[in-house]
Amino acid sequence: MQRASVAPRPVADQNHPDGGHYDSEKPAALRFISAVLACLFVVGCGGGSMSPTKATPPNSAPPQSAGTITITAAQVFQVPATPTTWHFTGQNGCTMDLLVSAAPSTNFVPAGSMTWTADKHSTTDPNATNCYWNPGTPKAHAQIVLAHQPDGSFSIIASLITFPLSCNFCTGGWTYMTQDVTPVGDGKTPYIIIPASATSGTPTTVDTSYVGYNLTGTDSSTLTMDSVIGLVAPVTVHLRTTATVENVSAPSYTGAALALEIWEGPCFRDDGSYFAAPQCNHEKSFYAPGLAYIKNITFSKGDGELLLPDGSHDPIYDIER
């Protein structure tokens, strides 16, 4: 899951020769949820070939051979004909409802795009503060816009964020934000959430950045599907993604799934080694053939604060369906 960009808190790495150099890019500080719509295909096997067929039944693995398995975005993601809501559950009474629907085209949003709208709830806390999406922020609400890329992948191009009680990193006390995302010019599509494809045993890692234009305010008119480019100064945020196929277990599905791990912000030193900085936003999502988005695991909170000191996974904020 992903988030918009604000200036980082300075954090020193005592093991780094210059005390913790991150580079000049600013990290992201709001967590977005990744979500997809089920489509009627199952995974193909061997040599990366696929055969469309009916959706994979719940709690069953897709057919597999002794060879590698490839899963494509088309097998796990499709714009719905009508709005669809998925219900996710987590620990400590946390739940999340995810509304998936087609997005209207605007001067920034192309035709054929989709919106994912996330609302979190809790049976123990009316503000759902310590629940995903954006754990640590009360009543956090997100609507993100995904564009369908020519290679079949889907990427975030805009995000509309509502924090009705503000947040600990909302400079000036803002409660609304629109972020538009553009490439940095390296020939790579930034903010990929659903990769075009992934193959078991062959992880694919991509390093790039995005340019974010973050319009913030305390009035709901701040939220817009139209372009905000030129209204605010841009920030540049580093992204690393690793796509592969892994076995996963969730209430709706057990078997091979497309997995995408994302590091956003100052997560790595100049030599490429991992630096578990508090502003490194890190999570991993799983997408099942015929069922789409089924699970998300979290390594850091909404403001980038690590759940565990070494940056490893803590299941407290995991969600699944």
67-90 per-position pLDDT tens digit: 799 999 999 988 888 999 999 999
At residue 266, the pLDDT reads 84
Q: What is the dihedral of CA 43, 88, 296, 78, to 10 degrees?
A: 40
Q: In what order do the strands lie in the sheet with 44-45?
A: 44-45, 69-72, 197-199
Residue 31 pLDDT: 37
Residue 123, in any domain of the structure:
yes
Residue 69: partners with Cβ closer than 8 Å, 6 or more residues away? 43, 44, 45, 62, 199, 200, 245, 256
pLDDT at 92: 87
Q: Please report whether residue 98 resides in a domain.
A: yes
Structural domain includes residue 299: yes
Mean pLDDT of all residues in 4-24? 39
pLDDT for residue 235 is more than 80:
yes
Residue 305, in any domain of the structure: yes
The answer to whether residue 20 is domain-embedded is no
Is a pLDDT exceeding 50 seen at residue 38? Answer: no
pLDDT over threshold 60, residue 65: no
pLDDT at res. 303 = 62
Number of domains in the chain: 1
Give the separation between CA 194 and CA 213, rounded to whole angstroms.
Answer: 22
pLDDT-based confidence at 243, cuts 50/70/90? very high
**Burial of 76 (C-beta count, 10 Å sphere; 0-12/13-18/19+):** buried
| Residue 4 to residue 18: CA distance in whole angstroms | 28
Give the torsion sign (CA, 7, 24, 5, 282).
Answer: negative
Q: What is the CA radius of gyration of the chain?
A: 19
pLDDT for res 196 = 95
> Does 16 map to a domain?
no
Query: 253-289 pLDDT, tens per residue?
Result: 999 999 999 999 888 888 877 776 667 888 999 999 9
Closest of 142, 139, 137, 93 to residue 118, by C-alpha: 142
Q: Which pLDDT value is given to residue 277?
A: 66
The per-residue pLDDT for 307 is 76
In a domain, 50, yes or no: yes
Classified as helix, coil or strand, 184 is coil
How far is the C-alpha of 8 from the C-alpha of 26, rounded, in Å?
A: 6
Would you say residue 142 has pLDDT above 60? yes
Inter-residue contact 242 to 282 (CB < 8 Å):
no
The predicted pLDDT at position 153 comes to 94
pLDDT at 30: 40
Mean pLDDT (the chain, rounded): 81
**Higher-confidence position of 174 and 92:** 174
Give pLDDT, residue 312.
76
Domain that holds residue 81: 44-257+278-320
pLDDT of residue 147: 95
Q: What is the pLDDT of residues 109-132, one digit of tens each?
A: 999 999 999 999 999 999 999 999
Q: Is residue 103 a contact partner of residue 225, using CB atoms and an 8 Å limit?
A: yes
Higher pLDDT, 21 or 268: 268
Q: CB-based burial of residue 107 (10 Å sphere; 0-12 exposed, 13-18 middle, 19+ buried)?
A: exposed
Give the pLDDT of residue 108. 98
Running DSSP on this structure, what letter comes out for residue 74? H
Predicted pLDDT at 2: 53
Higher-scoring residue by pLDDT: 226, 37: 226
Q: What is the pLDDT of residue 276?
A: 61
Mean pLDDT of 132-147: 93
- Residue 29 confidence (pLDDT) above 80: no
Has residue 1 been placed in a domain?
no
> pLDDT tier at 313 (50, 70, 90 boundaries)?
confident
